[in-house]
Structure 1
Amino acid sequence: MQRFTAGSRLDRLAMGLSGLCAVHCVASVVLLGLLASAGGLLGKPIIHEVGLTLAMIIGAVALGRGVRDHGLVLPAAVGVVGLATMAYAMTLHETGYEPALTIIGVLILALGHRLNMHAARRV
């Protein structure tokens, strides 16, 4: 039976948020292609700004707690690379690369949280 700590619950929440971000990116691209008005709603900058802010806050707490609890910096470093990739993607609004780069960042961030969960189990 697995025991979930407060840190692993935060990692799970953060991974869920990463998954929602990926679904949002894919849905936005599909809806932009199908319905310009619906795609416009999902493509509003505030949604990306709020999502990235939440990812940064939850990521900082969960990954920071992991470093404190198990002492491994690698999961946090991987998570920071993912967050930085997501933040960079937000600067590419008109290039068409934003969704793909955001999804890559989300996957890297989720990997950081997964590594954090595995490191916490070893302690």
Structure 2
Amino acid sequence: MKTQIFADNVAIGLSSLCIVHCLVLPLLVAVLPYVAGLALLSNEAVHTWLLAAVLPISLLAVLAGFKQHGSKSVLLLVGVGCSCLILPLLVAPVSALVEVPLTVLGSVLIATGHYRNLKRKCSAPECT
């Protein structure tokens, strides 16, 4: 149970980091171009690294939670969210006009699914 709660919280954090990476970092690089370190973080590989971290953690947390509460809506939210994150990597040249909205949508869906997973888990009798 503690592993699932930890994994849900980490997945929410990584999803939030993904949103920051997609929305805030480009603005910072545009406004503060002299900050060379930020330019490294805008590299597309960061998207892949975040995805490689969030997928196994999400799988662990959601499957552990599903065994307890059986909520298919949590599986659906996280599954569709992960698909939104994977899709831009599978389609060769994707413009930022498609990648950013898909990534933000996917991150929000993943975070929402993990939040619901936590709430359903913590409302179970063994959590009280």
Q: Which runs of 4+ in 1 moved over 6 A?
A: none
Q: Give 2:30's aligned residue.
A: 33
Q: 1:7, 1:66 within 8 Å by CA — same for their partners in 2? A: yes
Aligned CA distance change for structure 1 residues 47 and 71 (closer, same or farther; 3 Å): same
Q: Aligned partner of 2:51: which letter? A: L
Count of aligned pairs: 120
Q: Gaps (5+ residues) in structure 2? A: none
Relative distance call for 1:105 and 1:74 in structure 2 (3 A) is same
CA distance in 2, matches of 1:17, 1:9: 12
| Shift in Å, 1:99 | 1.7
Q: TM-score, normalised by structure 1?
A: 0.82
Point out the more displaced range, 107-116 or 39-48. Answer: 39-48
Q: Percent identity?
A: 25
The 3-state SS of whatever aligns with 1:6 is: helix
Gaps of 5+ in 1: none
> Which residue does 1:75 correspond to in 2?
74
Cα RMSD over matched residues?
2.2
2:114 equivalent to 1:113 = yes
Using the TM superposition, give the Cα deviation of residue 68 of structure 1 relative to its aligned residue in structure 2, in angstroms. Answer: 1.5
Report the Cα distance in structure 2 between the residues aligned to 1:95 and 1:5, rounded to whole angstroms: 38
